[in-house]
Amino acid sequence: MKVSELGEFGLIERLSKLIPINDKDVVVGFGDDTACINVNGQLLLLTGDIQVENRHFIKDKIDPIDLGWKLISSNVSDVVACGGIPRWGLISLGLPKDLEYEFIHNVYKGFKQALDYYKMFIIGGNTSSSSEIILDFFLVGETERFVSRSGAKPDQAIFISDEIGMSRAGLELLLMGKSSYEDFEKRLIKFHTRPKARIDLQYKIQKYAESCIDISDGLVGDLNHISEKSKVKIIIEKDKLPLNDDLKKYCEKYNKNIYDYILYGGEDYQLAFSVKNENKKYFENIFEIGVVQEGKGIYLKDKENLIKLEPKGFEHL
């Protein structure tokens, strides 16, 4: 059997069973956006994200400064989704011997911009040669409360932290390789190349979210993780989904269905989370899109119709 037959999630599930965890200081192991340990009463969040050339990025099509920015942002997004702030990172590099120094120098420029923005530091790492460029980032965060995927309960409201779907449109625009882009297209591309993790929401997520997930693999796929871990049904109300103006223009121009982008696009680095009714007031400026009910699965409520949505999250294997 080949590893690709198992898929990313199937492989991780199978392998993690081979190394069971039996440690009273481990609050959360595999299966959430981050692991969580208790160090003398301080909760630490641990996460990592490996980026491989030609799988996650094409060297000649990405600005290395953006590559550095995105790698850190994706890890920060996982930490914020669990309620935490990012603190310390380690970076592992695999670099082809004939890679120009300038490329990795610019990746580090992107790191620096992100480190300053998120107020954190890289404190170690290691390097090897390799045939493809490999960037593997490990991040340690801190939180006072671990917000998991398993805390959703019936009657809680479902929120998303902003409009979504723009990153996928931006990627498609980039891949078109056009010689010039309209202004709204440039803005969509920027959503893809310079996503910002929602560090600004960290305190409210830590305090008031009952469950939360980084929806970088797509809204339905990631809400399905909350649904499965929390053993609940989630209803998304179509009318409540926010429609980004530039994404609307894109879908009109290229004859696309905007809900494909909102429901299944990924890499926006926004958050989906559930909140008790009495705490909805803390999230007035963002988007309540649905509700948690007893049952299972993800449904889209369109006027009176309830349509079951199949999760088709992005797998990296």
**List 23, 60, 239, 278, residue binding a second copy (CB under 8 A):** 23
Tell me if 62 contacts a second copy by CB under 8 A: no
CB of 109 to a second copy, least distance (A): 7
Tell me if 277 contacts a second copy by CB under 8 A: no
CB of 272 to a second copy, least distance (A): 20
Tell me if 4 contacts a second copy by CB under 8 A: yes
Stretch that binds a second copy, among 11-19, 204-212, 275-283, 290-298 (CB under 8 A): 11-19
Q: What is the gyration radius of the CA atoms in the chain, in angstroms?
A: 20
Three-state SS at 279: helix
Per the CB < 8 A criterion, the answer to whether 110 and 65 are in contact is yes
Q: Which of residues 109-128 bind a second copy (CB under 8 A)?
A: 109, 111-112, 115, 121-128
Report CA dihedral (94, 100, 105, 106) to the nearest 10 degrees.
Answer: -100
In degrees and rounded to multiples of 5, residue 303 shows phi and psi of 55, -115
Tell me if 55 contacts a second copy by CB under 8 A: yes
Tell me if 178 contacts a second copy by CB under 8 A: no
Tell me if 12 contacts a second copy by CB under 8 A: yes
| Residue number, 127 or 277, with CB nearest to a second copy | 127
**List 59, 63, 99, 153, residue binding a second copy (CB under 8 A):** 99
Per the CB < 8 A criterion, the answer to whether 218 and 208 are in contact is no
What b/e string do you get for 273-308 counting C-beta neighbours within 10 Å, with b at 16 or more?
bbbeeebeebbeebbebbbbeeeebbbbbeeeeeee
Tell me if 108 contacts a second copy by CB under 8 A: yes
Which of these, 181, 55, 193, 81, lies nearest to 139 by C-alpha position?
81
CB of 16 to a second copy, least distance (A): 8
Tell me if 94 contacts a second copy by CB under 8 A: yes
In degrees and rounded to multiples of 5, residue 302 shows phi and psi of -120, 105
